[in-house]
Each structure stands twice: as C-alpha cells, then as structure tokens.
A and B are shown apart, each in its own frame.
Chain A
Amino acid sequence: MTSTNSSSPPRRASSAAAGGPADAAPGWSQNPSSWSSRILLAALSAVGLLVSTYLTLYQLKVLHSVWEPIFGGGSRYVLRSSRLSRSLPFPDAALGALNYAADLVVGLPGPPDRWRRRPWQVLLLVPAVVPMAVVGVGLMILQGAVYHRFCTLCISSAALASVIVAVTMPEVLAACQHVVAAHRQGGSWRGAILGEGGR
C-alpha cells in the first residue's frame, strides 16, 4: 500500500500531466486517468487480444500449427490435448480474448478526469482485469504442476494480465479515494460511485 503523503492535505497537482493539471486527483502528482496511461492499457490489452485470438484460432483448428519457440510440443499439448482445453464447449483461449476486449471497451473511453466523473467506469476495470490475472496464475500452475508442459504464448498472456493490473490500479485507487471522500462529505455510496457532484 502506498502511504506517501498520508498526512499531507489534499492539493491540486502542479504537474502538467496529460489531461491537464486540473484533472489530477487531490494529493496526486499526475492525472491517473491521463491518456498516456490509458493508451498504455489499451496497447497491452490489444496485444493480449491478438495473442488470445491467435490461440483461439489454433484451438478451433483454423490454424494448423502454433508458434512455440521454447517448449517444443508444449503449446500443442496445452492448447489441444490437455483436459482443460477439452473441458469447455468452446476454446478456453476465447475467454482470454473476450476479457482483453472487455479491457479495451472499459479502459479506453471516458473524459480525462473520469476517476471523478465516472468512478463506476474506473471501478469496472477491477472485474475486467483482476480475474484475468488470477486465471493466468491458475493456468500457469496447471501447466507447471499438473501437465508439466508449458506454452510460451499462454505464459506471455498470463504475464500481460499481471502487467495490466499494475497499469490499471493507480486509476482505480484514485476513483476509490474519490468515492470515499464524496461519501464522507455526506453523499450516498450510490451517488459517489455514479460520480454525481464530481464535476
């Protein structure tokens, strides 16, 4: 937990972060909803979407081979022969693709100060990004501890999911701080989450 400035009063940041200094959260040195961080999130999600779509196409047998530079037949086994790959009525990689698409849809749009105008949208990022990281860890455990075979692109996708969590959390933190502050000032939780009075 970041505890910097825990005792200092809220203040407007003076840095000219993308989105303008007026959009920085109180006590923050940058705008957590800046376009630079959102574009980074979008770029990472787009890469994840591409990787997951590629793996989905392989699982659907649209593609006949899969890129595997390190683990030999590991990807082939994990993606087509493992019990997990056959446990769902659709390719499990498609879930990853859907999740990365959701990251893009939820993570990209919104005003430059959406942490206070649309806290609900920022908070939606939590169910969009955290489960993917948890599932990624679970898949890594399955590959290493149960199958004893690995899939390079699956590992990359799992790592990407963790990076996306790290990139997303500052904005989530700012939205949480705003919601709690708005509630402390007498607003309802619902109104605070919906961003009422946050303009």
Chain B
Amino acid sequence: MSARIPSLVIAVWVMLIPAVLDESHAMTVSNRVIAPIAISAAVIAFGSSTRALRLVHLPLAAWLLVSAAVLGAPAATRLVVALTAVALGIAAVPGGRVAGDYGGGWWPVIDGLREGR
C-alpha cells in the first residue's frame, strides 16, 4: 500500500504545476487533464486487488514527457515537467506488498472468461 504514496503525491503535484510554474495554456490544460486521471488511478491502486491500475501512470508519464517537449513553456518548467514524468513512471513500476491472499487475483477470472468463450 505504501508503494502507492509516491505515485499519489506526484499526481497531486502534476495538478499543482500550473499554479506554481509559468507555462502555456496548452500545457496547463494538458496537466489538468492528466492529473485527475493519475490521482484517481493512484487512489484506486491503493487496494491490493486493484493495484494493477498503477500501470495507467505509464502512458500518462509518457504523455507528460511528450508535453514537456512539444507544448510551450519556459525551459525550467519543461525540465520540471519532464522530471515529474520520469518520477511518475518510475513510481508506477513497483507493485508493493500485497496484504493477504486474494485467490490468485484477476488471472483466474481472465483465464475462465477465455475458456468460456
């Protein structure tokens, strides 16, 4: 569970970037589209049975990285956004400790649905 705390903190930071740093309107919109998705995914991924949702942060981090390169902002802001993207991506990788047993998780369900087709 504690493995998700950095992800949540970084996602909230993405939401705060437009209020703290100077950036273009396009980058503000981009950050404020990404941040709610990232925050919600981080919160839901706190659950042991839903921790896979943390992987949503990987494409979001990739988009942040792209936005730092292509959307208008001062160099310092671009650097901060790029570093934030890298941190968001890295924080999404560790699954963390699973509290308790969950009967094999979602894989038995996925396998059963495949067989049931």
Using a CB–CB distance below 8 Å, which chain A residues touch chain B? 1-8, 10, 13, 25-30, 133, 136-137, 140-141, 144-145, 148, 158-159, 162-163, 165-167, 169-170, 173-174, 176-177, 180-181, 183-184, 189
Contact A27 B101 (CB under 8 A): yes
Of A3, A26, A183, which is within 8 A of B112 by CB? A183
Contact A166 B37 (CB under 8 A): no
Given contacts A25-B103, A177-B108, A183-B116, contact A163 B35 (CB under 8 A): no
Contact B43 A170 (CB under 8 A): no
Could you say which residues of chain B place their CB within 8 Å of the CB of A133?
A: 40, 44
Could you say which residues of chain A place their CB within 8 Å of the CB of B35?
A: 140, 144
Could you say which residues of chain A place their CB within 8 Å of the CB of B101?
A: 4-5, 13, 27-29
Contact with A along B92-117 (1 / 0, CB 8 A): 00000010111111111101110110
Q: Tell me, rounded to whole Å, the shortest Cβ–Cβ distance linking B8 to chain A.
A: 10
Interface size on B, residues (CB 8 A): 37
Q: Tell me, rounded to whole Å, the shortest Cβ–Cβ distance linking A116 to chain B.
A: 12
Report how far A175 CA is from B109 CA in the complex, Å: 10
Report how far A2 CA is from B51 CA in the complex, Å: 7
Q: Tell me, rounded to whole Å, the shortest Cβ–Cβ distance linking B93 to chain A.
A: 15
Report how far A36 CA is from B99 CA in the complex, Å: 16
Could you say which residues of chain B place their CB within 8 Å of the CB of A7?
A: 104
Contact A1 B48 (CB under 8 A): no
Q: List 15 A-B contacts (CB under 8 A).
A: A1-B105, A2-B52, A2-B102, A6-B108, A13-B101, A25-B103, A26-B103, A136-B40, A140-B35, A165-B44, A167-B47, A174-B103, A180-B111, A181-B112, A184-B116
Q: Tell me, rounded to whole Å, the shortest Cβ–Cβ distance linking B31 to chain A.
A: 8
Report how far A148 CA is from B107 CA in the complex, Å: 41
Residue B15 interfacial (CB < 8 Å) = yes
Residue B29 interfacial (CB < 8 Å) = yes
Given contacts A27-B101, A29-B101, contact A169 B116 (CB under 8 A): no
Residue among A4, A6, A8 with the most chain B CB within 10 A?
A: A4
Q: Which 9 A-B pairs have the closest CB atoms?
A: A180-B112, A2-B105, A144-B32, A27-B103, A140-B36, A166-B47, A29-B100, A162-B43, A1-B52
Contact A184 B102 (CB under 8 A): no
Of B28, B33, B100, B108, which is within 8 A of A181 by CB? B108
